[in-house]
Amino acid sequence: MDALFHISMLGMLAGLLWAAVAIVRRTRQRRSAWESGVTAQARVVRAWATTQVVNNAARRVQWHEYDFTTPDGGAVRFKEAGGPRERAVGDAVRVHYAPHEPDRATAAEPRPGKDMAAAVVWLAVIAGCAIFLVHEWVELSRY
């Protein structure tokens, strides 16, 4: 039973680490896209919404799939969550992307300060959860 406890604690810590890495990676990708100064006109190919229920509270997440062409003629299609609900299939939008990774583009307006602040808050929450988890792991291991 001890082994299962330790494995589950390691699994939860690994999940928190994975979430932190994902937040940092996406924040850096968006910042790189915004700072590159490279933009393109894209078209909304698909729009849909998903619903997540957490603690009996429904949360709606808007998704869009975009299609654009790079100056060298490469066709790029990418998906992004969190766009405006009014954006519909066929709408034209400006996307920002880094030339070395156009598939990591973003249709979000450049707001690096807000993006960084959100990342810092989420990383602080994850760090707090990790600290609490390690504390409980140590306390419960004593028994």
pLDDT tens digits, residue range 8-29? 999 999 999 999 999 999 999 9
Residue 67 reports pLDDT greater than 80: yes
pLDDT computed for residue 54 by the predictor: 81
Instruction: Convert the pLDDT of each residue in 71-85 to its tens digit.
Output: 989 999 999 998 888
Integer angstrom CA distances of residue 35 from 82, 98, 126, 135, 137: 20, 8, 27, 40, 42
Residue 1 reports pLDDT greater than 80: no
Q: What is the pTM of this model?
A: 0.82
Beta-carbon neighbour count of residue 64 at 10 Å? Answer: 23
* Cα pseudo-dihedral 122, 39, 98, 23, rounded to 10: 10
Length of the chain, in residues: 143
Question: Going by DSSP bridges, is the β-strand pair 39-54/92-98 parallel, antiparallel, or unpaired?
Answer: antiparallel
Instruction: Convert the pLDDT of each residue in 115-141 to its tens digit.
Output: 999 999 999 999 999 999 999 999 998
